[in-house]
Amino acid sequence: MTNPATELRDRALAFRSLHVPGRPLLLPNAWDVASARLVEDAGAGAVATTSAGVAWALGAADGDRLDRDRALRAVERIAGAVRVPVTADIEGGYAQDPQGVADTVRAVLAAGAAGVNIEDAAPHGTGPLRPAGEQAERIAAARAAADATGVPLFVNARVDTFLRGAGGVDDTLERAAVYLAAGADGIFVPGTVDPGTVKELADGIQAPLNVLAGPGAPPAGELAALGVARVSVGSGVAEAAYALVRRAARELLGSGTYDAQTGGLAYGELNELMAGKR
């Protein structure tokens, strides 16, 4: 019988190996068991959660408004439903201080995830970003908590300089260096897909670079050529799914027709996927 701790360690090592500059890990982010199984079935090497999608599916708003226990129960369900490694978007760590972040990381590992995203956006009303030193303490706490378990959790430090309009390339590189020194394994920079900027970031960050892509962004192959090691889509797939729900509902309630449902997954196909056993 497989030892759960050994299995999680192996998943974490496998997840690390997927971060290759020029051959990026592609992550269509999931938010529940069904979306995670569909992503896995499509051939993804790993499943990443989207904090926004998870929050919306649980009836909460994104942005540190969902409590840690509910968020991590969703992660646990997802990790238990797929064979590939799972990385959890834990927003700012669901905690006010580094010790709380460490507690969250221990709970993430107990849920079966092999990686985390931790963002440096400041709590509501306190400015766009946390001070870099303060964020480094939170990352160091996450690193120490994971290392104490023997699981090489992949800590993806999100730098929100571009997303929050709080800085450019130099500011991002400075923060990235501080976070890597604190124990981060990769750097996630959402908010820009400009090829020149992405190339500067990939060249200047001494770790795998993750970018956030979506409609209008360069194709994954072009991002790979710039040196990107990970491409994720955040809440984009969830947004598209919920947009379909709204279109179908408005169409039925308005014209009384059903065209928006065209192209949906067959009942049997989806049911068979959900009936599958790990």
Q: Is residue 268 part of a domain?
A: no
Q: Is residue 262 part of a domain?
A: no
Q: pLDDT digit string (tens) for 70-106?
A: 999 999 999 999 999 999 999 999 999 999 999 999 9
Q: Which amino acid is at 83?
A: R
Q: Is residue 26 part of a domain?
A: yes
Q: Is residue 226 part of a domain?
A: yes
Q: Is residue 64 part of a domain?
A: yes
The answer to whether the CB of 191 falls within 8 A of the CB of 213 is no
Q: Is residue 255 part of a domain?
A: no
Q: pLDDT digit string (tens) for 145-192?
A: 999 999 999 999 999 999 999 999 999 999 999 999 999 999 999 999
Range of the domain at 127: 4-235
Q: pLDDT digit string (tens) for 213-252?
A: 999 999 999 999 999 999 999 999 999 999 999 999 999 9
- Whether the pLDDT of residue 39 is over 80: the answer is yes
CATH of the domain at 218: 3.20.20.60
Confidence of residue 64 (pLDDT cuts 50, 70, 90): confident
Name the domain count of the chain: 1
Sign of CA dihedral 198, 201, 203, 209: negative
Q: Is residue 277 part of a domain?
A: no
Count Cβ atoms within 10 A of the Cβ of residue 251 and give its class: 0-12 exposed, 13-18 middle, 19 or more buried. Answer: middle
Q: Is residue 244 part of a domain?
A: no
